[in-house]
Structure 1
């Protein structure tokens, strides 16, 4: 038996309860690649270091756009950095709340491109795991940069982790690229190079039935992000191929970029 759903009418957007229930991985899913200490610790190390940088005289304070189930916010808070999260999905946040320390993370429900949080300014804002691509227009992505800048203290940093568009893998006439093939999960992306639109397609076996979902994204280039930062009053400080400071080259498949509020 198969099931098709696309949660566009869900108030939680595309990350409603059906997605949140499986977001942290399944026993046959290589979730350690995303949720294990080897994946999480370098992220927390870098963000905690930036949070204690310029502008931290009044205390480090971090803002996560798309806090989700707390993959980064929870260990960052355990390092002693207060974290405030913004997320549209109540279902994802409920998953975080159920984890140890989850009740201690302040969360505002809303669109992270436009939702404002009160209180003192933040020393670092961050957006990881390709989440900038969840904003489906260039204007929305620019708004996200402006929103980050509005929350940061002078000298504060904005960090994004996102993949480099993988268009080199598209032969003429092909618009699909697989990213996961397993006994109970299949995933592939489809691209529209004219609009920079893409869709991730996920098929998984859950309780003996096949479930299919598709989520739209807008991919974005590093130079395009740099221009968005300039429009928001920020400048590029660092760009690496990963969280451990690996050099960013023409062969890099992803980047971690840090912009500084001027």
Structure 2
């Protein structure tokens, strides 16, 4: 599991913010909550409002009941934070306001998430982990994936984790809070290189790659949920058009 760094010195290099917060996340969780965060988060970004069903043996203990109650509160905090961060922005949303919407105190929010950046990191995990895994897989695939495969992979991830991706794309404060600017930039560069390996030496190919990324990301910022299949097809077509090289003799505008 990979999570963004939180409150650590800025690293440098291609994978600067990677794989350093798993231990930090465990240390920041209450003792009874130390287990895989990814198992608690729905990777389609919509938190489940009811606990998972598990077979029980005999009557449920009071400790198990308390743990289930805590899990429900935790999921409600995540759902509320998701909506308020998207609506008001990360900087303009306080833990006290999130708690009030859930019906608990700020201190109760801090019991489940020991800081505001930790809460944000948990919300963003489906997107950041998903994108990192997708990039690693695409970069090691042989033969190399076609631009269509790369764009379809990105579009699928963005629609599945839309609120997280939207928050990262629109809210600079959320990236600053987790020191994600370097990771965000590097991830975009990796995508552009996958779309056209010549982008490293060809400024026009690089520009087309970023235009293709914009053709996918920008519509999702403005379109309502859910994004229908025909709309996704239109977005994909626009991105592919952005990648097309102009005919010879038509490189100048005007």
In the superposition, the TM-score normalised over structure 1's length comes to 0.26
Larger strand percent: 1
Larger helix percent: 2
In the superposition, the TM-score normalised over structure 2's length comes to 0.27
Structure with larger RCO (C-alpha < 8 A, sep 6+) = 2
Bigger Rg, structure 1 or 2: 2
